[in-house]
Amino acid sequence: MSIKLVWFSMLLKIVQAGEPVLRATASALPQEKIALAQTQVVIDWMRETMRDAPGVGLAAPQVGISLQLAVIEDRPEYLRDLPSEVLADRERSPVDFHALINPRIVERSEEQVEYYEGCLSLAGFSALVKRSRAVTVEYLDERGAEHRVEARGWYARILQHEIDHLNGKLYIDRMEPRSFTNLENMGRHWKNMTIPAVRRALRLPES
């Protein structure tokens, strides 16, 4: 009789705003613990949870784990139905899956850009958020190797969003409060408007 080993992936519960873990500064993950089986399993489970949501990023605090760990992936199929002008405006292109361990932003551009942003821990809502157009981030990957990435556009936004999570921040801390909306009204009223048009409609000063 042969015995087959079966790998079971697990979807983790994504905690919602109000959970204390989302407001704590996550602990650094020691480099010697990155290769441990339990760490690798958590990374795998976070990847599957992010894809199932679906989302483009997930930080460990969002699944109740207070560690400096996040996963990111902007899959080609997420971009397929977006108009080319939207992709160009947002400087958005596919990003391969990768884990970031103990990441830190070492450089930020002075130029900021503003778009609607959502979060898996604030399910069903969105708001305008200004972030640096470009950032440089240093981090360890899932094998413990050191990386330094210079990102701009939508990838830079994802990095900033996930690193905020590791420092106890949510996008609502940075949002334009008058723009806060549920996704139903986002699709009904704001989705196809330019950001300057949204600001005019909300009677906000020009950014």
Tens of each residue's pLDDT in the chain, 207 residues: 444 444 456 899 999 999 999 999 999 999 999 999 999 999 999 999 999 999 999 999 999 999 999 999 999 999 999 999 999 999 999 999 999 999 999 999 999 999 999 999 999 999 999 999 999 999 999 999 999 999 999 999 999 999 999 999 999 999 999 999 999 999 999 988 999 999 999 999 876
Is 166 contained in some domain?
A: yes
What's the domain range around 144?
Answer: 20-111+135-172
Q: Does residue 31 lie within any of the structural domains?
A: yes
Which sequence positions are flagged as catalytic? Answer: 162
**Which CATH number does the domain housing residue 78 bear?**
3.90.45.10
The pTM assigned to this predicted structure is: 0.94
Any domain includes 38:
yes
- Count other C-beta atoms under 10 Å from residue 86's C-beta: 13
Number of domains in the chain: 1
